[in-house]
Amino acid sequence: MAARAARHRLTKAGLAVAAAAAVIVVFPAAGSATPRTAPASVPQVTAPPAPQPEMVEALKRTFGITDEQARARLAKEHQAAQAEQRLRASLGEAFGGLWLSADATKIHVGVTDAAKADAVRAEGAEPQVVRRSERHLNAVKSKLDARRSGAPRDVAGWYVDVTTNSVVVLSKSSARGQADGFVGQSGAERGAVRVVNSAEAPRLYYDIRGGDAYYPGSSRCSVGFSVTRGTTPGFVTAGHCGRVGTTTTGFNRQPQGSFQGSSFPGNDYGWVSTNSNWTPRPWVNNYSGGNVNVAGSTEAAVGASVCRSGSTTGWHCGTIQAKNQTVNYAEGTVTGLTRTTVCAEPGDSGGSYISGSQAQGVTSGGSGNCSSGGTTFFQPVNEILSAYGLTLTTTDGPPPPGCAGREQTRTGNLTSNQNLYYTFTAAAGAHVGCLDGPDGVDFDLYLQRQNSSGTWTTVASSTSPGPDESVNYNGTAGNYRYRVHAYSGSGAFTLGFDVP
């Protein structure tokens, strides 16, 4: 009995009582009540805090400015934050919003009453007489909010824009008439609303990453590795975490997908297909704030080092002791498992085992824990891929999801160590770029921004050892360019990107 008790499957379901002292669920269920807090008091004038060096460096890179300018910007932003709260309270209905200039050197404040301008100047800000107060604009927006269920599909959203003293409705140009109709039906003050052409098509983005938590029903398990079957995204995991048809939510408790395959006992593997909001990534969470790249699935030898990622105990390493072990769990026998010295605990089930950059398998079960140590077993990943006809998502794999359907497309040819540049002007917002290169080369992608002195600074990059890259970056308005670099190899490529 003691030996049997030492063996356990590492799913959280049914083990809540035994594991309560050791398992911390980081992500609460969606819909949890939010505690009420007292309203913040109006701040007194205080000196800006000493800027963190990491923040100064980040601003220098992002905006292409000097160390002195970055520190001055942070000080001005601190001043603006305090002034906004004080002026909103003191000006009342006359307050028309506060905003910083593009270079954050000046603070502007809208006022509906010119007699209040001196109060604005006393805060070190520049007054600007406007027609509508901030409260008025918020009331106009509330009219649109009340009709949100009737918003046309091609209207991306709306917001109060204090810089233009209006409410902005973002609409595709082809739906301009529908957007105007929506505004009219809302009863909002038409003169206070501007319909602006926009190509935005907002949707939620979540990454599928090895080692992250997911929730099959009321249990918690861990993602093994990102995969695709045809064009369907998903991930591999332990079979005992769910049966075919079991629905899943992600680490953030958002709808994710369902089990398309599951085998347990006999084997201990399964795969989950996910909806289009989830993007497979060639990564494993190292639980130290970073990711480990997955380049393939070459099987490691007995005695080789191997590391495991899981949502309960994070990242732990050890060695491979044996292959093709049969394990007698209380729930049934599983054959063909690999034995390791890596520890694990309930909730780590299904998580990634990786050796170097090569995917090895998904956590099945074991004995012991990560306090006293133990033995664990993983289901080899190549067997899972073969069983379901899956393709492992790797750094050398197909183009990252999202290359198709970008707003802008460029094509070109590169020879080894050559660069090509594509320059454009963008508003503030999100940049999404994707590079699709030929097999057998190492091409890299850089997004660069031009600063006030004309110098180009890299603000985002993707430099995996393969042909395909992707970048995501939120930036300010300005001149940008993509640099496509052939680190090694030659051939044709396609660059796709969205311009904010």
Active site amino acids: 240, 268, 349
339 in Cβ contact with 321 (< 8 Å): yes
8 in Cβ contact with 367 (< 8 Å): yes
Nearest CA-CA partner of 236 in 218, 214, 217, 254? 214
Q: How many CA atoms lie within 13 A of 220 on its CB side?
A: 25
Element (H, E) at 445: strand 442-450
Element (H, E) at 6: helix 2-6
CB atoms closer than 10 angstroms to residue 451: 16
Q: How far is CA 244 from CA 226, 254, 255, 261, in A?
A: 18, 20, 17, 5
Give the pairing type, strands 391-392 and 225-229.
antiparallel
DSSP assignment of 57-115 equals HHHHHHHT--HHHHHHHHHHHHHHHHHHHHHHHHHGGGEEEEEE-TTSS-EEEEES-GG
Burial class (CB in 10 A: 0-12, 13-18, 19+), 472: middle
